[in-house]
Amino acid sequence: MASLDNFVRLPNGVRMPIFGLGTSHGGGYDQESVIFALRECNYRLIDTARRYGCEHLIGKAIKESGVSRESVFIATKMWPTDYGTESAIRAAKSSLTRLDTDYLDLYMMHWPLCPSSVDNVRSTLDNAWRGMERLLDEGTCRSIGVSNFSIQDLIDLMESCSVVPHVNQCEFHPYQNPKELRAFCRENNIEFQGYCPLANGMILKEPPVEKVAQSAGRSPAQVLIRWSIQNGVVTIPKSIKKERIKENSQVFDFELSPEEMAELDTIPMSLRAVDPAELQGKIDDNKPDGYKLPAHLQYVPV
C-alpha cells in the first residue's frame, strides 16, 4: 500500500503525503513556522485536532502561505466528547469553520474512549463512526479514519461499519513499533499512520540513533523520520523552530541501508511518548481545547 515515493494511496484512492507537520499543543505553537513549512519547505500534510486548539490558526496559515487549499492535505480529529452520530457531524462542521475550509482531507476519531458518563462505550463509538460515514458520503471528508485504535477496537468497529477506516494513526518510532497492529492494518487495507516519530525528542540521543546519524551523515531527527518513511509509514514530526522544520523535511535525498535500518531496530521497545492510561482523565477534565497555548493564540468563537 505505502510506497517510497512522497505519497501513499489510501484504500479509497485518495493520495496522502507520506510526510507532514504535527501541530499538537504540547510544546507550543508558532504561526510563522507553519507558514514557513508550507511556503519554504514544501510540507503538504498538516496534522491537527480539535483538541490542539489551533485549527483556526492552521486555516489562516494556509491562506497566508499562498499555497492553494487543494494542494494541502488537512487531517484533523474529533475529540471523544463529540462522539455520537449527529454530534460527530456537528463537530466536523465546527472544524471546517475553524479551518476556514469546506472539506477535510482526513477526519479521525481521536481515541477509542468516551467520557466516563457514557454507559455504552462500544455503541457510542459505533454511532460516531456512523456520523463519519455520513460525512464521507456527503463529501465533507475525502477520507475517514481512527487514531489509537488497537486490533480489538478495530475488530469491534468493523463488525458494524459500512466503511472500514481508511487510516489508523498511532504512535510509531523505534521505541514503539506495534508490528501485530501494523500487520492487521495491512491485511485489512487500513493505512497505518505514525505519530511522535521523534518520541517527543526522547529518543534522539539513543546510541543506535547517534551511530546511524554519524554513518549516514544526517541528524538524529532525519534518521528517525527516514526510518518511518522506509517502513512505509506516514510520519508527522512537529517542531516550532524554522531550522528544525527545514531539517526534518530534508529526508528525500538519502536512504538508510538495510544495516542502518537493522541498527535502529535494535533499540528496545521500552517507551511511549503518549501514555494511554492518562487519557480517560484528559477526556473527563473539561479543560478547554488548546489549554496549553498562550491566551492570545486561543480560539474565540465569533
Catalytically annotated residues: 52
Q: Which residue has the cell 493564540?
A: 297
Query: How far apart are alpha carbons 75 and 110 in whole angstroms?
Result: 11
| Residue 110 known to bind ligand | yes
CB of 142 to ligand NAP, least distance (A): 19
Within a 10 A sphere around the Cβ of 299, how many other Cβ atoms?
16
CB of 35 to ligand NAP, least distance (A): 15
- Tell me the closest approach of the beta carbon of residue 189 to ligand NAP, in angstroms: 20
Q: What is the phi/psi pair of residue 70, to 5°?
A: -65, -25
In the chain the first and final C-alpha atoms are separated, in Å, by 42
Bridge partners of 19, per DSSP, are: 235
Cβ closest to ligand NAP, residue 47 vs residue 82: 47
Between 91 and 221, whose beta carbon lies closer to ligand NAP?
A: 221
- To the nearest whole angstrom, how small is the minimum distance from the Cβ of residue 302 to ligand NAP? 25
Q: Which residues bind ligand NAP (CB under 6 A)?
A: 22-24, 27, 47, 110, 147-148, 169, 195-201, 204, 219, 221, 236-241, 244, 247-248, 273-274
- Residue 17 or 22: the one with the smaller Cβ distance to ligand NAP is 22
DSSP notation for 129-141: HHHHHHHHHTTSB
Nearer to ligand NAP (CB atom), residue 139 or residue 195: 195
Beta-carbon contacts of 117 under 8 Å, excluding residues fewer than 6 positions away, are none
Write out the binding residues: 110
Write out the binding residues for substrate: 110
